[in-house]
A and B are shown apart, each in its own frame.
Chain A
Amino acid sequence: MSEISSLFQISLRSLWMHRLRSGLTTLGIVFGVASVIAMLAIGEGASRQAQEQIAHLGSTNIILKTVKPSDIEIADASQQTIQEYGLRYDDAERFRDTIPDAQVVVPVRRRPQQAQYRSRRITAEVVGTVAWYPELVPIEVRIGRFLSSLDMHYNEAVCVIDETVQDTLFQFDDPVGQDVKIAGEYYRVVGIVKDVSAGIGDQEQPSERSSQDSGITGSIYIPLPTMKSRFGEIQIQIGGASGVSGERVELSEITIKVPTMDRVLPTRDVLAALLDQNHKKKDYQIVVPLELLRQAAQTKRIFSIVLGSIAAISLLVGGIGIMNIMLATVSERTREIGIRRALGARKKDIVVQFLSETILLTLIGGLLGMMVGACIPILVTILGRMPTVITAGAMILSFGISAGIGLTFGLYPAYHAANMDPIESLRHE
């Protein structure tokens, strides 16, 4: 151990003698390793984000979404009639009754609404759903309970709020047992939930959310039958060039859970066929998280290949640069090699000496590269708003790569040094 450390100490001294040259030489490795780290961090971040999103959607879930068909908008807007489209209650019932693999069917209706508690008002997303909603979506009940079957059966005017609503609407008051006024009616708060996937799920939120102004804070869950009876299905919008327009949408979303992952795709096909029969227009969209997972994996692969090639080329160039400089060093130190050989150094000793110098050089470059590489993902996260994850594996890999480059590109100069004729070397000026 002490032998290795003294070897590295001597190597370090030789490198320090030519510090400018050594520094410039290592730059190639610095950038190469930095790009490896950055590549892995960005790739890992992207893949984790995708996986979290998909886990949030559920890998055994199939999600049907109501989409506003573009053709009726143009046709009906002038007539000022009520547009009717989207998924319906009978769709959900049909799925439950006819598809054996549909273990859980969760219909959801979403609608932004103003909610009021005492004098405070916010616009929240009102989610009409069923009691078994938490089976498909990762939410966690913090206080109280979620909606129950009884709530649904009796069309109870109860609601469950999430933590965002709790913070903004109630602030310091205990919300459970209080009444929230939504669209003129009062709902008693029975529970508070936390969306476990909060913060990463923006993308798969319903389209209403992104099309509306961003003033929506949090979600309020109410029983779907209650929503149906109290809100109706028609939403009238006033304003714009078309004047008054109305939309009739029964459900925003139906999520279906199948028992295993290999049942996802066949069930998707059955669903597509069923929907095709019962919908004249293409007013729905089928989202299969499992496919998204595959797409994400594919995207990540392409991304990794591109960044990996850049890293590989830069490491190759860096390695060749190191080899070049080590050859120059060897020829510059021919005399020293001769002296060492005369003093009893075996060829092996010379190989080890120059190899250790090269490896030290690349390891220093690798460490610097790791530092630079650790900064790039942070910048990417701050400036590009992309999540990045630096793993210990990436660091170990980079360290290994730099040592490997030192070894690979150091071997030739080291052997060149060892095989010089000692007599010639001693005469070398």
Chain B
Amino acid sequence: MVTPGASGGGVRRDTVVRIENLCKSYRIGVLELPVLNGLDITFYKGEYVAIMGPSGSGKSTLLNILGCLDKPSSGRYMLGSQDVSKLNDNELSTIRGKQIGFIFQSFNLIRQLNIIENIEVAMYYQRRPKAESRQRAIQLAERVGLGDRLKHRPFELSGGQQQRVAIARALANDPLIILADEPTGNLDTQSGKEILVMLDELNIQGKTIIVVTHDEYVAERTHRAIHLRDGRIERQICNGKGRE
């Protein structure tokens, strides 16, 4: 049950993320409140994984740690070949920018910037040359089908369009993993479907995607769904769609 990558079928696959005995607890006054209790999960390159679970199961905390926004209390977190559990704030920031692409439920675009600039922001913090960033931002905007809206501001776009900008932004630095937090939670069914199709395409192109969701419909599209409960893995369901 806890053997990850069951669909591997004996073929050795590259590990992208490995967490070992990961614990996280919050201190409230004198009380230690454990949220994650010794998680061991391995994510492989090109995998599409859903993390599910009820509220309070620890999935948001796990996502924050995977996204290097938070640090584990104990345990190891290997991202690529690097142990990121001991890095300082500056190093974590660089990792976030380079190796992780975020897609949020509420899109989280910067409202005073137009579409190209929103995509460029991610590259700006990696000190990439401006001309190169601009060119790449335009390419990415075209790739998510917004080539004709480059100068629009986020509030001039529909929710689905905004989420597509967010996807373009997440791809800007060609990250190791894409973390999506309820990417369709704020969208109508049709737009949500479009976004999911886009994520499927990205995965087919080889991107490793980890998506946190309540939605069974979303989870069904992934290779593997990890269900958390009380900071532990309750069960893992492999959908048999894993590619060799």
Chain A residues packing against B (C-beta within 8 Å): 2, 6, 10, 13-14, 17, 335-336, 338-349, 422-423, 426
For chain B, which range describes its interface: under 10, 10 to 19, 20 to 34, or 35 or more residues? 20 to 34
Q: Which residues of A contact B112 (CB under 8 A)?
A: 13-14, 17
Q: Which residues of B contact A (CB under 8 A)?
A: 64, 67, 69-70, 89-90, 93-94, 96-98, 102, 104, 108-113, 121-122, 125-126, 130, 169, 173
**Is B125's CB under 8 angstroms from A426's CB?**
no
Known A-B contacts A426-B104, A426-B108; A346 and B64 likewise in contact (beta carbons under 8 Å): no
Q: Select from chain A the residue with minimum beta-carbon distance to B91.
A: A346
- 25 residue pairs of the A-B complex, CB under 8 angstroms, read A6-B130, A10-B113, A335-B108, A339-B110, A340-B110, A340-B125, A342-B67, A342-B69, A342-B96, A342-B108, A343-B102, A343-B121, A343-B125, A344-B96, A344-B98, A344-B125, A344-B126, A344-B173, A346-B90, A346-B93, A347-B89, A348-B90, A349-B93, A349-B125, A423-B64
Which of B90, B102, B111 contacts A342 (CB under 8 A)?
A: B102
* Chain A residues whose CB sits within 8 angstroms of the CB of B64 once the complex forms: 423
> CB distance B70 to A344 under 8 Å?
no
How close is A132's CB to chain B, nearest CB, in angstroms? 74
Question: How distant is A22 from chain B, measured CB to nearest CB, in Å?
Answer: 13
Given contacts A423-B69, A423-B70, 12 further A-B contacts (CB under 8 A): A2-B130, A14-B112, A338-B108, A339-B108, A341-B69, A342-B108, A343-B102, A343-B125, A344-B126, A346-B93, A348-B90, A426-B69
Q: How far is the CB of B109 from chain A (nearest CB, A)?
A: 8
A343 touches B97 (CB 8 A): yes
Residues of A within 8 A of B109 (CB): 339
In angstroms, Cα B93 to Cα A341, docked, is 7
Please give me the residue from chain B that is nearest to A7 by CB atom: B124
CB-CB under 8 A for A343 and B96, given A14-B112, A17-B112, A335-B108:
yes
B70 to chain A minimum Cβ distance, whole angstroms, is 6
Q: Complex Cα distance A13/B98, Å?
A: 26
Task: Known contacts A344-B96, A423-B64; decide if A336 and B110 are in contact (CB<8 Å).
Answer: yes
The interface residues of chain A lying within 8 Å CB-to-CB of B110 are: 336, 339-340
Taking CB atoms, residues of chain A closer than 8 Å to B69 are 341-342, 422-423, 426
Inter-chain CA distance A423–B70, complex, in Å, is 8
Asked whether A345 lies within 8 Å of B125 as measured between CB atoms, the reply is yes
Task: Decide: A344 and B93 in contact? CB cutoff 8 A.
Answer: yes
Rounded to whole angstroms, the CA-CA distance of A346 and B67 in the bound complex is: 15
**Closest chain B residue to A347, Cβ basis:** B89
In the bound assembly, the distance between CA atoms of A18 and B89 in angstroms comes to 31
Contact of A346 with B104 at beta-carbon distance under 8 Å, contacts A17-B112, A340-B121, A423-B64 already known: no
Asked whether, in the complex, the Cβ of B90 is within 8 Å of the Cβ of A343, the reply is no
A343 to B122, Cβ gap below 8 A?
yes
Query: Nearest residue in B to A335 (C-beta to C-beta)?
Result: B108
* Alpha-carbon distance A73/B142, docked complex (angstroms): 101
Closest to A340 in B: B121
* Cα–Cα distance between A282 and B62 once the two chains are bound (Å): 99
Complex Cα distance, B110 from A17, in Å, reads 13
Q: How far apart are the CA atoms of A280 and B189 in the complex, in Å?
A: 113
10 closest A-B pairs by CB: A344-B97, A344-B125, A346-B93, A343-B122, A339-B108, A344-B96, A345-B125, A422-B69, A346-B90, A342-B102
Complex interface: chain A residues within 8 A of B70 (CB): 423
Contact A346 B102 (CB under 8 A): no
Chain A residues, Cβ within 8 Å of B173: 344
How far is it, in angstroms, between the C-alpha of A422 and the C-alpha of B109 when the chains are bound?
15
Whose C-beta in chain B lies nearest to the C-beta of A343? B122
Complex CA gap A339/B102 in Å reads 9
Separation of A423 and B111 alpha carbons in the complex (Å): 19
Residue of B nearest to A336 (CB): B110
| Contact A347 B96, CB 8 Å, known A13-B112, A14-B112, A335-B108 | no
Q: How far is the CA of A344 from the CA of B67 in the complex (A)?
A: 11
Q: What is the CA–CA distance of A322 and B148 in the complex, to the nearest angstrom? A: 39
Smallest distance from the beta carbon of B183 to chain A beta carbons, Å?
Answer: 15
Chain B nearest CB, measured from A242 CB (Å): 85
Residues of chain B within 8 A (CB-CB) of A338 are 108
Assembly CA distance A349 to B90 (angstroms): 10
